Chains A and B, each alone.
Chain A
Amino acid sequence: MSAPTKGTNDQIVLDNVSKFYGEVLGVNRIDLTIPPGITGLVGPNGSGKTTLMNLLVGLLRPSAGTVSVRGLSPDRPETMFREIGFATQVDAFPTGVTGFEFVELLLRVYGFSASDAKARATKALDRVGLTEAGGRKVAGYSKGMRQRIKLAQAMAHDPSVLILDEPLNGLDPMARAEVIALFRELSTAGKHVLVSSHILHEVDLISDQVVLLNGGYVVAEGEIGGVRDEMEEEHPVQVMIRCDQPSLLASKLFEADHVVEARITNDRRGLLVSTKDADGFHLLLNRIVLENNLAVESIVPADADVHAVYQYLIEQGGR
């Protein structure tokens, strides 16, 4: 577990944070230091994702430990929430408001003047593609539109930290692509974008780093490649190589100690190799290809994504 750096003003820091609901564990002994960029929070239902997000914004108070978001504490809401935008999973809105009113009225509560609130609300709705629907009641919105209006509300005050609980739920493919592009834009601007999801493919696609939670504990954190590398001993890295002579390649690869398995695919054009030393494997592969003049079509990591890490760490209980 990485030691948290206290007092840093550009990082989210959870220092030995635990949350219990009576006897029930929410999260336990969380030590995290999250830099700007897109961070994916991954875990099965009940793993503590929402609890962790609620702790970050002070909707829940830790039973132990401290939380700091860019050097700010939830005990100082007047300064902290100028810097944070949070879109919860909760699909509820003040009754009777239009999309525009929802964003604009809350901006007034944030302290913006009437003209500034209107301008910001207009811009936020434009960013999520709801300009035309802004005048309609939120109650009549589709699930995807409600997700987008929550996103607009969360970022309308231009926070430096966006915390989004399952923000892609209910979005159609086009809207997903637009929202993911928006996350990238915010991340490039130096903001924190913390996204929870149980759709691993999406987390893999959008995240600069991931935090994997299970049963209230952080089971892994960091760049997904780095996390995967640390598991090489227990779970050898799998690489799929498509080439013209997979049998020859397999026989040469087996000369190395770190190669533990090599399987030729059914079409006899591919070879799935398991190795405990990814770096050594790639050096060896380059040498074999050159020495034997193999025609290589592709070399693709077969289990270096968040899905594989998730499966090894959570579904197989770390076995």
Chain B
Amino acid sequence: MSAAISNPVPASPATPIAVGEPAPGSAALRRRQLAAIIRMELKKGFFGKRAIGLWLLALAPPAMLALRLFFTRDTRGDSIAELFDLAQAQAIFAGAIYQAFLLRVIVFLGCVGIFGNLIRREVLDRTLHYYFLAPIRREILVLGKYLTGLIVAGFLFGLSTVASFLLTFAPIPGGTRFLLQGPGLGHLFAYVATTLLACVGYGAIFLTLGFFFRSPAIPALLIFGWEGIHFLLPPLLKKASVIHYLQSLMPVPVSDGPLALLSDAPSKPVAVIGLLIFAGLLVAISARRARGMEIKYEED
């Protein structure tokens, strides 16, 4: 049954745009909205309760190096760092400290925690609708969240890379000269750039997984395994791993061991551009997914 609903009052005009304010849909408005999202998310990313774990994770490598430096002494009581020469230190940092630990474990897990939760955590906290109800394209929201993740991950793990590098080289004989007059700063720059690109690549992967999986733990574990065995993969499959491109950016080549299947490493420009395109594609897929995303927290 039905009855006609009367129209008791005239409709109001559309919300006016203030003089000097950017028009809806304009690039200026989108930039302003992007900045607002990043500002709002950065606070959570750096100082939220869940950020504590990320800070601890990022500080773990330099903390372990510092502890090793101060508490591991040889029989004469000298720091063990003094037992290494510069060449040994470079090889140890590139292989064991940076690639095996910092890049493959710390940055990888950090990116799972940061990017995998950008959307998923909002759904679990039941706060995503505040963004979805704003006059903003969801593509801008996804981009804003991704950029926030990059800033947080880049800062934390960039800092971790710098601290680990300095704690490795500064105490060894000739380390200061290596850093200030030799190629040390160039190496440091290359390692930081590699870390940032790792955040770009892994970040895009886990952002996307956050849209497709309720929990990113299992796919993250699979990717962790895939990245871990990439040196055993045939050349074609190697190209489907992030670490393959990151390795070519490292200033000191790292041997993958006797079992590794050899393949041509991509050139630095190919690695950088390839990773950026790969990340861009994944962010675009995430944005498309967000556009059609529904929110249903509970039954009414």
Residues of chain B from 1 to 20 with CB closer than 8 A to chain A in the complex:
1-15, 18
Report yes or no: B2 in contact with A221, Cβ–Cβ below 8 A.
yes
Q: Which of B25, B127, B295, B296 contacts A94 (CB 8 A)?
A: B127
A110 at the interface (CB under 8 A from B): yes
Closest to A95 in B: B48
Report yes or no: B135 in contact with A80, Cβ–Cβ below 8 A.
yes
Contacts of A47 in B (CB 8 A): 300
- A interface footprint on B43-64 (CB within 8 Å = 1, 0 otherwise): 1100111000000000000000
Closest to B122 in A: A94
User: A126 to nearest B CB, angstroms?
Assistant: 20
Given A54-B295, A108-B39, CB of A36 within 8 Å of CB of B8: yes
Q: Which of B1, B44, B126, B296 contacts A92 (CB 8 A)?
A: B126
Report yes or no: B15 in contact with A93, Cβ–Cβ below 8 A.
no
Contacts of B33 in A (CB 8 A): 109-111
Report yes or no: B136 in contact with A60, Cβ–Cβ below 8 A.
no
Contacts of B15 in A (CB 8 A): 82-83, 157-160
CA distance A226 to B8 in the complex (A): 14
Contacts of A92 in B (CB 8 A): 125-127
Q: Which of A51, A96, A108, A111 contacts B300 (CB 8 A)?
A: A51
Given A83-B14, A94-B127, CB of A227 within 8 Å of CB of B132: no
User: A223 to nearest B CB, angstroms?
Assistant: 6
Contacts of B43 in A (CB 8 A): 96
User: A201 to nearest B CB, angstroms?
Assistant: 20
Residues of chain A from 184 to 230 with CB closer than 8 A to chain B in the complex:
187-191, 208-209, 218-223, 226-227, 229-230
Report yes or no: B129 in contact with A188, Cβ–Cβ below 8 A.
no
CA distance A88 to B129 in the complex (A): 9
Report yes or no: A79 in contact with B24, Cβ–Cβ below 8 A.
yes
CA distance A159 to B14 in the complex (A): 8
Report yes or no: B7 in contact with A222, Cβ–Cβ below 8 A.
no
A46 at the interface (CB under 8 A from B): yes
User: B124 to nearest A CB, angstroms?
Assistant: 10
Report yes or no: B300 in contact with A46, Cβ–Cβ below 8 A.
yes
Contacts of A96 in B (CB 8 A): 43-44, 47-48
Given A95-B48, A226-B4, CB of A37 within 8 Å of CB of B300: no
Report yes or no: B14 in contact with A160, Cβ–Cβ below 8 A.
yes
Residues of chain B from 214 to 273 with CB closer than 8 A to chain A in the complex:
none
Report yes or no: B40 in contact with A221, Cβ–Cβ below 8 A.
no
- B interface footprint on A58-79 (CB within 8 Å = 1, 0 otherwise): 1111000000001000000111
Residues of chain B from 260 to 294 with CB closer than 8 A to chain A in the complex:
292, 294
Residues of chain B from 109 to 129 with CB closer than 8 A to chain A in the complex:
125-127, 129
Q: Which of A108, A190, A223 contacts B40 (CB 8 A)?
A: A108
Report yes or no: A60 in contact with B14, Cβ–Cβ below 8 A.
no
A265 at the interface (CB under 8 A from B): no
Closest to B8 in A: A37
A283 at the interface (CB under 8 A from B): no
Given A51-B300, A82-B135, A108-B39, CB of A222 within 8 Å of CB of B2: yes
CA distance A89 to B129 in the complex (A): 11
A129 at the interface (CB under 8 A from B): no
Contacts of B24 in A (CB 8 A): 78-79, 82, 111
Report yes or no: A222 in contact with B5, Cβ–Cβ below 8 A.
yes
Report yes or no: A223 in contact with B300, Cβ–Cβ below 8 A.
no
Q: Which of A58, A190, A220 contacts B9 (CB 8 A)?
A: A190
Report yes or no: B135 in contact with A77, Cβ–Cβ below 8 A.
yes
Report yes or no: B131 in contact with A109, Cβ–Cβ below 8 A.
yes
Report yes or no: A61 in contact with B5, Cβ–Cβ below 8 A.
no
CA distance A158 to B2 in the complex (A): 32
Please name the 6 residue pairs, one residue from A and one from B, whose CB atoms are nearest each other, closest first: A50-B300, A222-B3, A10-B11, A226-B3, A108-B36, A81-B135
11 intermolecular pairs with C-beta atoms under 8 Å apart: A10-B11, A36-B8, A77-B136, A78-B136, A81-B134, A105-B36, A109-B36, A109-B37, A109-B131, A110-B33, A222-B4
What residues make up the interface of B, taking CB atoms closer than 8 Å to A?
A: 1-15, 18, 21-22, 24-25, 29, 32-33, 36-37, 39-40, 43-44, 47-49, 125-127, 129-138, 292, 294-300
- In the complex, given contacts A95-B48, A105-B40, A223-B3, what are 6 additional A-B residue pairs having Cβ atoms less than 8 angstroms apart? A70-B14, A82-B135, A89-B298, A116-B21, A227-B3, A230-B1
